[in-house]
A and B are shown apart, each in its own frame.
Chain A
Amino acid sequence: MLRRVSILSLVVLAIALAAPAQQATPPLEKGSVRFAVIGDSGTGHRLQYETAEQLERAQQKFSFEFVLMMGDNLYGSKTPRDFETKFEVPYKPLLDSGVKFYASLGNHDIPDEESYKPFNMDGHRYYSFKKGKVRFFALDSNYMDPDQLNWLQNQLQASTDDWKIAFFHHPLYSSGAKHGSATELRALLEPLFVKYGVRIVFSGHDHVYERIQQQKGIYYFTEGSSGQLRRGDARGASFTAKAFDEDCAFMVVEVTSDELVFQTISRAGVTVDSGLIPRSVSQSQDTASHHP
């Protein structure tokens, strides 16, 4: 009997794996908020430029209006020339077409970047902004002092927006072998996110893509592979829903009143992950489909 059940399980599993994966593509709904997510991008090297080309193609298809940057926007030296080669040149087509970039600071960045207009930080190392029904919170996870925590709490408390999305450099959950989960930061931030209804969190730092299973009503993503790649670094953990460390990647995201649809695209233009997240926690289940 046990043997028959095991064989049956294997057959079911084989069918499931062989079945064509359902791809969640952004619905391109009128009035929705569309954006892209890149992280750890600012190398000035070939991987960044090729990923940027793919990002430009995605913009033509999905018409996202802005890009969230997960930090490490400028690696190495920070001369005026570096601002060009590590940001302005690779993203020139997007900048020229009016796409805005909203940066958070990574450990390779310098606070000066907050004065750099194209990063839209408006002179602050942490800040928030609103797009449609979505409120975004950009944090400086490199220096999470009590002032910043108080600011975040006040901002979250005051926000009556349908969606609250936070982004910052260090991932609260990560199976990356190089860095892994920022557990100290998690102990401080996650209770605030839960209390004030943050639904989505984007981070970078580990040079892979990883989607985390829902944690306390929150979906976490790591996108730290838009200019650097640590092949084989995503070990996978009990909390991992999907990991991709075979190529550089970025995300395109569309938020409507009731749902968020995401698609993760590799440097080669392959959709490596996609899915849909409902706004309401009560309706929530991991509906994301997987692509090999």
Chain B
Amino acid sequence: MRWGLITRRPAIAALFGPFLAVFSVWSLAPLASRPAVPKADADSRVSKIFLERANAYVKLRKTLEATLPPLKSTDQADKIVEHERVLAARIQEARKDARRGDVFNGDIENLFRKRIREAFSSRQGRQMRRTIAQGEPVNLELHINQTYPKSIPLTTVPPTLLQRLPKLPKELEYRIVGNDFVLQDVKTLTVIDFIPDVYAEHPAG
């Protein structure tokens, strides 16, 4: 039973029950159906949820990496390559049920689409598109948990876009791949999640 703990303690339930019930309904309801909250507060709440998910990934990653011999600066390239290969495989195994939208779901995806749209519509929009074009953009069909191929260039992310997005833990980064907006593991280049067709909404000009 959902409120079993409280129903076994009637006095506490009587005291806090109504508050908890309201809080529970509020926290589980889609953001859109909640009572009007100032826009900035709503955005910051969604950002917070996004960062909680990003941090949950980082925690998993650290746990998995702790099972490997630590990677120190080395002149043996094979050690570096092998470390990242094994770590990527363990991440993929641990996240084998991951699906697109696990991180960028409803409200979070909407927030990112909005921020990206605002950035590309701003005065810097033209320069941002130029930055992407100069970075040798690639077209690639993305899949969750795939490792971004190391043989093709990493796309250049417009710095003014990065200034408008939630700050990530150092283990993660944003990329734009083709028309998709990607959340990626910095070292293993594992695709954690992506939002499709974001850049397609912002053609040059």
Contacts and interface: CB of A to CB of B under 8 A. Distances in A.
Interface of A: 76-80, 82-84, 107-112, 115-118, 122-123, 141-147, 149, 170, 179-180, 182-185, 187-188, 205
B78 A183 contact: no
Interface in B116-150: 124, 127-128, 130-131, 134-136, 150
Given A145-B173, A147-B170, A182-B131, 11 more contacts: A84-B77, A107-B153, A112-B80, A112-B84, A116-B75, A116-B80, A143-B173, A145-B159, A146-B167, A184-B159, A205-B134
B192 to A, nearest CB: 15
A143 B157 contact: yes
Contact of B75 (A117, A182, A185, A187): A117
B81 A77 contact: no
Interface of B: 71-78, 80-81, 84, 124, 127-128, 130-131, 134-136, 150-151, 153-160, 162-163, 167, 170, 173, 186-187, 189
A112 B81 contact: yes
20 contacts: A76-B151, A80-B77, A107-B135, A107-B153, A107-B156, A110-B189, A112-B81, A117-B73, A143-B173, A144-B162, A145-B162, A145-B173, A146-B162, A146-B163, A147-B170, A179-B134, A180-B134, A182-B131, A184-B127, A184-B128
Given A80-B81, A185-B131, A115 B72 contact: yes
Contact of A77 (B71, B135, B151, B186): B151
A175 B148 CA distance: 31
Contacts of A80: 76-78, 81
A206 B5 CA distance: 66
A216 B159 CA distance: 22
Contacts of B131: 182, 184-185
A185 B80 contact: no
Contacts of A143: 156-157, 162, 173
A111 B160 CA distance: 21
A237 B135 CA distance: 21
Contacts of A170: 134-135, 156
B185 to A, nearest CB: 10
B189 A185 contact: no
A134 B96 CA distance: 50
A18 B81 CA distance: 55
A187 B80 contact: no
